[in-house]
Amino acid sequence: MIKVGIAGATGYAGIELIRILLGHPEVKITKLAAKMDGKPQEISDIFPSLKGRINLVCTDLDINDMAKESDLIFLALPHKVSLKFVPQFIKLGKKVIDLSADFRFDDLKIYEEWYAPHTEESKKLNPQAVYGLPELYKEKIKKANLIANPGCYPTGIILGVAPLLVNKIVETENIIANSLSGATGAGRVPSMVAHYPECNENVKAYSIATHRHTPEIEQELSKLAKKEIKISFTPHLLPMNRGILSTIYLNLTKKMKEEEIIKLYQNFYKKEPFVRILEKGTFPETKNVYGSNYCDVGIKVDERTNRAIIVSAIDNLVKGASGQAVQNMNIMYGFKETLGLESPGITP
């Protein structure tokens, strides 16, 4: 059994980590922290669904205290906040899985351009961080002490197009990623954008061509293609709680049949327990991954335009955040990769 602390326990990624880890046979949650303004609270008072399942008080973060009680710390904190805490946990000899964007970028300048300045300490630490997308970086994750857990949109998009880029059968220009997200992606702090009457019976695009997941996606696609790639990425906010559906358009460089490409995908992911390549003619729906760690991928070849249209679906809080974090933990600790993540989710 490993001992685990969670900082940022009161957010949606936090409650999702708790939910998953409560069902994990090798983990004991020992510490919960969040911004509590000096008023500690039973976590089951904050999330009454947990009543009877866990008795832990959520306090303000005390790094030494959490480090003392934990082998591994999950940080589900806002971007720019992890920067300060991660180096301290690492210095105390702890393993860290950071769900923020703060250590996702190889190139510090890109991070600083799209997010915020690094500190001296975080800069030094950055090269040690491993981008925690297990389907691409499993070997590195095994040995890592610091995981930069991928963003929700990047996870679905990168998994959706990786086989095409690695197999060099698509143009690297004109890649369009159009993504649709449920409202939990906006976090747990009330805001006009996620106010029920504004969000319900409505759909909108936001951060068009300017969303901060863009450089993260481009970094990974460029590595896969071994050349610099720029994409157009448009996220949309949908009236539902969970799920991201990405519809991705790429130009094929030669005529290919749908079956061939599906086979390429099946081959590429054949050892991956959480990527499901759908059969010809069937396509993902977010409800099929609701509450599960799966990424479903469907493939269409549009022969009229010689274009591949890839659709991927994830649960933004599971494969897009906390489930993937647990998957990374399993790999780091040599547990079975699927441990605690076997549930097919909930439908309908």
Yes or no: say if 289 and 319 are a contact pair by the CB < 8 Å rule.
Answer: yes
Q: How far apart are CA 144 and CA 81, in angstroms?
A: 21
Closest by CA position to 19, among listed 226, 284, 326: 326
Q: How far is the CB of 19 from its own copies (least distance, A)?
A: 6
Pick between residue 127 and residue 344 the one whose CB is nearest to its own copies.
Answer: 344
Q: How far apart are CA 71 and CA 69, in angstroms?
A: 7
Which of the residues 78 through 137 are near its own copies (CB under 8 A)? none
Pick between residue 119 and residue 305 the one whose CB is nearest to its own copies.
Answer: 305
Q: Which are the contacts of 271, defined by CB distance < 8 A and separation ≥ 6?
A: none
- With binding defined as CB under 8 A, does residue 154 bind its own copies? no
Q: Give the residue, chosen from 113, 119, 190, 260, that forms a contact with its own copies under the rule CB under 8 A.
A: 190
Max Cα-Cα span within the chain: 63
Which of the residues 272 through 331 are near its own copies (CB under 8 A)? 273, 276, 278, 282-292, 294, 296, 298, 300, 302, 304-305, 307, 309, 311
Pick between residue 121 and residue 285 the one whose CB is nearest to its own copies.
Answer: 285
Crossing angle of helices 152-166/258-268, nearest 10°? 110
Identity of the residue numbered 109: K
Q: Token pair of 86, please? A: 């991660």
Q: How far apart are CA 14 and CA 194, in angstroms?
A: 19
Is 295 among the residues known to form the active site? no
Which of the residues 43 through 72 are near its own copies (CB under 8 A)? 47-54
Which of the residues 198 through 257 are near its own copies (CB under 8 A)? 198-206, 208-209, 230-232, 234, 236, 238-243, 245, 247, 249, 251
Q: How far is the CB of 333 from its own copies (least distance, A)?
A: 22
Q: How far is the CB of 120 from its own copies (least distance, A)?
A: 30
Pick between residue 283 and residue 335 the one whose CB is nearest to its own copies.
Answer: 283
Pick between residue 119 and residue 202 the one whose CB is nearest to its own copies.
Answer: 202
Using the rule CB under 8 A, give the single segment among 14-22, 32-40, 145-153, 259-267 that binds its own copies. 14-22
Q: Site for its own copies (CB under 8 A): how many residues?
A: 86
Closest by CA position to 311, among listed 346, 348, 286: 286
Bond from prior residue into 348 cis (ω within 30 degrees of 0): yes
Give me the active site residues, please. 152
